[in-house]
Amino acid sequence: MTKQQTQFIKGIALLFMVWGHLFASPEITNKLQSLISIGGIPFESLICRGMGPVDFFLVVGGYGLFYLYRKGDDKYFFLRIFKLYIHYWIILIFFVPLVIIIGHKTFVLSFLQIFYEFTGLHASWDPPAWFLLPYSLLSLSHKKIFYLVDKINWKFAMPILYVLSFLMAVLLHLYGSTVINSNPLLSTPIVFVEFLFPFSFGAYACKYDIFTKLKDFIINRKIHTLYVVLSLIVLFAFRCFFNTSAGHSLYVILFICLFVMIPINNSKTNYLWIILEKIGKQSMGMWLIHFFIYAYLFDGVIYNLKSPMIIFVSVVSISYACSLAINVLTNIIISKVRFLK
């Protein structure tokens, strides 16, 4: 998988996430100008079932980090995580006061809650940031994880990791809202274990060069790109109509495997690839910003636009612009701190 392909996948995952957060609830989508309803579910809500973004980021993260690990370029990964948190803190410091002043919202501002928010232990101000801490812990543990990846055959390791991931997902489904989610010291290790399967698959995919072999298979068998694209559409449709969280990681793995088989057209007029790459490069900032846009600052305006596509494009565009601005500010601050350079 090339660096450009990882940006494409992160771009797709980010777009999936924004769409899912906006339209997953049929109660909301029913009030909009929905294209069609299938089985009483608006189309815009139905397709959210194939859009769970987290595993996309985990597979790409595991792949990229194992690539650096194998090259010996992962020595300063702690600083990368610290820079990620600085980025997150700047977003909180900028948007929370803005939401209080403009959006007229209130936040719990106790010392404990501020500690929870800034560490990511319990992200209630910016709920999508729940992903930040377990992903950071996973990344910081990568040397031990990848040591095992190097030692243990994937045929033995991956089934065990899948079962563990499935069990953690069951725990979260049964007890998440009542017991687990309210206790960050309990939820964080459970989510950490749940993340191991897709993250480790990314590492094994890099170790065995799986994506290159898949692409070579397509070329050698002279399989037309149209068949790959149709397979991707069928897979997505299958996931939407057979909704079960148990197989989501496997679905994401198949999705990525099919996607990397599609030839990349680097023409400057191929706007789809250009847009995906640009969004992929801003994906983490947009991940942490978009909730402030649609749920706080413009919550009384966004859904009044009625058209799901206009709503979606508006939130993505504003989030992208804000992410660019925050990136500039973050880079200026980091450049002033000697040990972060």
Query: Above pLDDT 90, what percent of the chain?
Result: 59
The closest of 50, 38, 3, 27 to 234, measured between CA atoms, is 50
Buried b (16+ CB within 10 A) or exposed e, 129-167: bbbbbbbbbbbeebeebbeebeeeebeebbeebbeebbe
For residue 176, the model assigns a pLDDT of 80
For the cut 80, the answer to whether the pLDDT of residue 73 exceeds it is: no
The C-alpha atoms of residue 95 and residue 294 are separated, in whole angstroms, by: 13
Res 165 pLDDT > 70: yes
The CA radius of gyration of the chain, in Å to the nearest whole number, is 20
Contact (CB, 8 A) for 285 and 326 = yes
Residue 51 above 70 pLDDT?
A: yes
Helix (H, G, I), strand (E, B) or coil at 322: helix
Give the tens place of pLDDT for each residue, 82-102: 889 999 999 999 999 999 998
pLDDT given at position 74: 63
Nearest to 128 by CA among 285, 278, 249, 280: 285
Looking at residue 265, its pLDDT comes to 72
Which tens digit of pLDDT belongs to each residue from 106-161?
888 899 999 999 999 989 999 999 999 999 999 999 889 998 888 888 889 999 99
Q: Where are the alpha helices (DSSP H) in the chain?
A: 3-23, 26-29, 43-46, 54-71, 77-102, 111-119, 132-140, 142-151, 154-175, 184-207, 210-220, 225-241, 248-259, 271-281, 283-291, 308-336
Element (H, E) at 297: none
| Position 112, amino acid | L
Strand-pairing partners, residue 37, are 42
Rounded distance, CA 181 to CA 172, Å? 8
**What is the distance between the alpha carbons of residues 313 and 293, in angstroms, rounded to a whole number?**
12
Taking every pair of C-alpha atoms in the chain, what is the biggest distance, in angstroms? Answer: 62
* CB of 334 closer than 8 Å to CB of 293: no
Would you say the pTM of this structure is higher than 0.85? yes
Taking each helix axis as running N to C, give the angle between helix 308-336 and helix 271-281, from 0 to 180 degrees, rounded to the nearest 10: 50
Q: What does pLDDT average to over the chain?
A: 90
DSSP 283: H
Contact 63, 203 (CB under 8 A): yes
d(CA 123, CA 84): 15
Tell me how crowded residue 215 is: count the other CB atoms within 10 A of its CB: 17
